[in-house]
Amino acid sequence: MADLATAETKVIYTPPAGQPYSKDLWAPEIHSLNGRWYIYFSADSLNNLSHRVWVIENPSPDPMQGEWTMKGKIGDAGNHWEIDMSVMDYNGQLYAAWSGWEGSANGRQDIYIAKLKNPWTLDGDRVKISQPDSVIPIECSNCADSVLSRVTAVQPSSSIFTSGRPMLIIGSMVKNMPGRNSGPVPGRPAWTTSGASWNNRPSPCPQKSRTTP
């Protein structure tokens, strides 16, 4: 990480104009799966209601070389709004987790998970495993009392494994407040894509320091 500031950079993909994934590209995540490289990114057509996750593929052993091509949109059968997808391989089965809306209207962002048929296709329905249902204290320099603010969005950041258990690290955000906290959502040893197989930890880990800008 110390050399990241001086590491080589390269533009590996520029979407063509006029496509549903031409604007607002963010949250790229790169994975090596089945001998090929894949990048998952969020994008839209300059209308947030159309934000979805898209996948590009590169067969080169070196992701800095070769050609990246569009595999397509990766989403559930209901074509719900989605962003910030993370992918993990658990015992030979690929899974995807992402932040999305329950319905078609702009609202609360929940975490969903689903199996993958291949790196660019979901297998079956999505399952909600986490939602922002907590109220947290927010420091307010202009307020006489502490402020309680509701978490409005949760988004997957990465996945790790500990003692044979998958653990999804998610970020939580409060509307109109800067920054976000991260916390683990561990799955049980015999976990499935059942919401009951996942447990939300009660507090962020790590938490933002008061001295952190």
Render pLDDT for 41-75 as a digit per residue (tens, 0 to 9): 999 998 889 999 999 999 999 999 999 999 999 99
What is residue 71's predicted lDDT score, i.e. its pLDDT? Answer: 98
What is residue 194's predicted lDDT score, i.e. its pLDDT? Answer: 56
Write out pLDDT tens, residues 187-208. 443 345 555 556 665 555 555 5
What is residue 129's predicted lDDT score, i.e. its pLDDT? Answer: 83
Contact 109, 153 (CB under 8 A): yes
Mean pLDDT, rounded, for 16-23: 95
Q: Is the pLDDT of residue 159 over 60?
A: no
Rounded to whole angstroms, how far apart are CA atoms 19 and 34? 28
Task: Give the confidence band of 106 by pLDDT, cuts at 50, 70, 90.
Answer: confident
3-state secondary structure of 16: coil
> Among residues 102, 109, 104, 105, which one has the least CA distance to residue 126?
102
More confident residue, 95 or 158: 95
What is residue 150's predicted lDDT score, i.e. its pLDDT? Answer: 39
What is residue 116's predicted lDDT score, i.e. its pLDDT? Answer: 95
Rounded to whole angstroms, how far apart are CA atoms 147 and 165? 36
Write out pLDDT tens, residues 108-158. 888 888 999 999 999 999 998 877 765 444 343 444 433 333 344 455 444
Instruction: Return the residue matching tokens 């520029």.
Output: 14
Contact 170, 182 (CB under 8 A): yes
Rounded to whole angstroms, how far apart are CA atoms 93 and 117? 9
Q: Taking the domains of the chain in order of start, what are their residue ranges?
A: 12-191
Contact 154, 170 (CB under 8 A): yes
Amino acid, single-letter form, for residue 27: A
Please name the fold of domain 12-191: Tachylectin-2; Chain A (2.115.10)
pTM for this one? Answer: 0.74
20 upstream amide cis, omega within 30 of 0: no
